[in-house]
Structure 1
């Protein structure tokens, strides 16, 4: 178990009714992550992830990895630096713009801090190729830091210069094979976002500088989003919003009304065709005939952006709400105030035993608020702001026979109830509490496949 008193969590306390003058704080997720001691800015668009944010990100990365590997993907790691010559050969260097970060080594060779690795994967396949058609389809992925020299980084982790990203790359013998794999991978995307309890829409999008024949953005509905989507109230079809359209033109093909909302792009997927394989000579040998360029696809998820988008989409202005799957701690136990009659009857050892029994049921670490000099109310208010999904309070009822514990469960809003509701509160005995937590755990273990 872990103790609140030992956490490195530099909380920023803002007096009640105080006006925030820092104009750099531009959205809810940025404000909450900073105030709650989860992130710390180091420069414009650059952030240190503190221990609780790192725990949440580790959980999110494990979840992303689990879902992408359910499609048969294999993990690799590319260097962050990519040779400029590869981007010249693909034709993307000239169109990359000022967002590309470049460096030179001591031999005056030029490199990019690659924001994506299409050229690198094509070069790898060319280096080991030609592949046999029997080796296809092939899906390789990595999770690592990416860099983009944003002209105006803002909204905290939603638009940063350094960010964590999943990027996966498919190699196929034909376009129809690429489309089949595309649907498998995007199906895994849908299951991932369902586990995170996020309202994310797959919408057709321009292929842009990436090129290819097909592109979809994955847009998470959130108030601070810089994009917007139109969603049909009848058939749930979604599309990227066209700002030039008048309200009268915003009708779905089914005849239903389209509702517009701000959104954050948390993923992007493409069928690339041979845009990169041809110039970089990534080929395969078919059953008969000469080698042919592989047909490529690619799949990205901005993991740190997805973390921030989850907070942005689900939280209130006053407190964080986490998807339970990625909360830094799922459960916090708040013991009685030192010197109270509950403290005398329950004691510090009783609080630790309670936390240990919960750990055995949930099979993960429990956080214990051991700051016994503070009132239960003060600690409860702080735990609520942090958004821990389950709060167990050893309050006045813990001195009863049998002892009962106040249990608060926080659930994210959903499509049928889009507004945040207060945590549900119940009084449970020790055995009832463990049974309840075990049931919740079984219900929340959504299968990947």
Structure 2
């Protein structure tokens, strides 16, 4: 069982009525993450991720891993350092050079701390190739730290010099395969963001220095966002700018945060880096490639930016550091006699059994009043807060249940006996995501099997037709 007093969470306490003089704090998510002891700045644009935020990021990573399993993506790890020679060959060293963090080894060879790994993946495919068309399509990915020498890092994790990112790369024999896989992966993106209850919009965008034929940004509306999206009130179509391209109506402009970007790259990298595949009955041709990114630390901060108030964090429920916090009575109170630490641990264990895994934490700071701890818990945004308060001395005991995750705000606590409390928590757990994901992939599997069967039937009919 976890205890809040044992968590490394260096809070920043600001006296009531005080005005912040630190102009580096420029947005809501940055302020809340700092004050709640979730991150700590080390220098401009660089942050230590503290345990509770790390736990939330781990949960987000696990969600992404589960999603990518459904498209048969395989995880790997690439070096953070990439040879500058590769970026010279692709032409991107001059295009992006000002944002690259460069290092030089003792042999005077130049390397860069990679912000992305298209060149490195393409070189890998060239090194092991040419690949047979039978090996394709191939999806490989990593989750790792990336680096960008931001001119003016700001907004905390929203624009940092070091950030955590998913980069997924698709390798295909032809454009048709790339387009099909692109639809599958972007479908997974949509279900991921839906599971987090975030209204992330897929918006067509220019490919920029990345190149390619197809490019979509994944934009999350938020006041602190440095991008903008144009939302049509008539047909709900979302674009980057201007009147609605679908119905011609005037649009409403919203600030937004880019939390992901997806591309069909074509042969942009494979041609210059000599990565090829061997089609049936043909000479080797350049691989067709695609890539998919999600800024994980940016998505974490962006979700807080979108969901939270100015004074309290609100998490997407699946990635809250802990799902439930149990607050016991103040030491020495009359409630303390019936709900001492041992009894509070017993209640917490029953809630843990209901939730599964280690999702419950006990606020064992019994020297503080329940009201003070409840205020701090609400500020941290635990989805469920269970209080052993005045009614816990009733026969049978009743417990106060507060919901604080976004979309489930309640005007006051529910007062429940233990069994109904446990049942309420079980029933309200988010299960929709897994059901949607599984249903989607069952239908996709059945559709692909139907197409394969149809192709086989056509082949048999044609064979009979041409048989003498």
TM bucket by the smaller chain?
over 0.9
What is the rounded CA distance, in whole Å, between the counterparts of 2:245 and 2:406 in structure 1? 29
Shift of 1:253: 2.7
Q: 5+ unaligned residues in a row in structure 2: which ranges? A: 439-468
Contact 1:182 1:271 in 2 (8 A): yes
TM-score by length of 1: 0.95
Contact 2:403 2:409 in 1 (8 A): no
Contact 1:411 1:423 in 2 (8 A): no
**CA 1:340–1:360 in 2, change beyond 3 Å: closer, same or farther?**
same
Match of 1:393 among 376, 387, 391: 387
User: How many residues get paired?
Assistant: 436
Q: How does 1:57-206 map to 2 (within 5 A)?
A: 57-206=57-206
SS at match of 1:95: helix
Match of 1:441 among 426, 429, 432: 429
Match of 2:332 among 325, 330, 339: 339
Deviation beyond 6 Å, 4+ runs, structure 1: none
Contact 2:396 2:417 in 1 (8 A): yes
SS at match of 2:339: helix
Contact 1:410 1:423 in 2 (8 A): no
Shift of 1:259: 2.1
433-442 or 30-39: bigger deviation: 433-442
Q: 5+ unaligned residues in a row in structure 1: which ranges? A: 243-249, 414-419
Q: Which residue of 1 aligns with 2:294?
A: 301
What is the rounded CA distance, in whole Å, between the counterparts of 1:189 and 1:424 in structure 2? 35
Shift of 1:361: 1.0
SS at match of 1:10: coil
Larger Rg: 2
Shift of 1:423: 5.7
Q: Which residue of 2 aligns with 1:371?
A: 365
**CA 1:170–1:21 in 2, change beyond 3 Å: closer, same or farther?**
same
Q: Which residue of 2 aligns with 1:263?
A: 256
What is the rounded CA distance, in whole Å, between the counterparts of 1:190 and 1:263 in structure 2? 17
What is the rounded CA distance, in whole Å, between the counterparts of 1:375 and 1:191 in structure 2? 41
Cα deviation code 1:328-374 (max 9, x no counterpart)? 00100000111111111222211000101111111122110001111
What is the rounded CA distance, in whole Å, between the counterparts of 2:426 and 2:205 in structure 1? 42
SS at match of 2:413: strand
Q: Does residue 1:24 correspond to 2:17, yes or no?
A: no
SS at match of 2:94: coil
Contact 1:252 1:258 in 2 (8 A): no
Cα deviation code 1:115-146 (max 9, x no counterpart)? 11111111101111110001111111000000
SS at match of 1:441: coil
422-431 or 182-191: bigger deviation: 422-431
Shift of 1:257: 4.7
Q: Which residue of 1 aligns with 2:416?
A: 428
Q: Which residue of 2 aligns with 1:222?
A: 222
TM-score by length of 2: 0.91
Structure number with greater CO (CA < 8 Å, separation at least 6) is: 1
Cα deviation code 1:91-112 (max 9, x no counterpart)? 1111113111111111111111
SS at match of 1:217: strand
Q: Does residue 1:238 correspond to 2:238, yes or no?
A: yes
**CA 1:444–1:388 in 2, change beyond 3 Å: closer, same or farther?**
farther
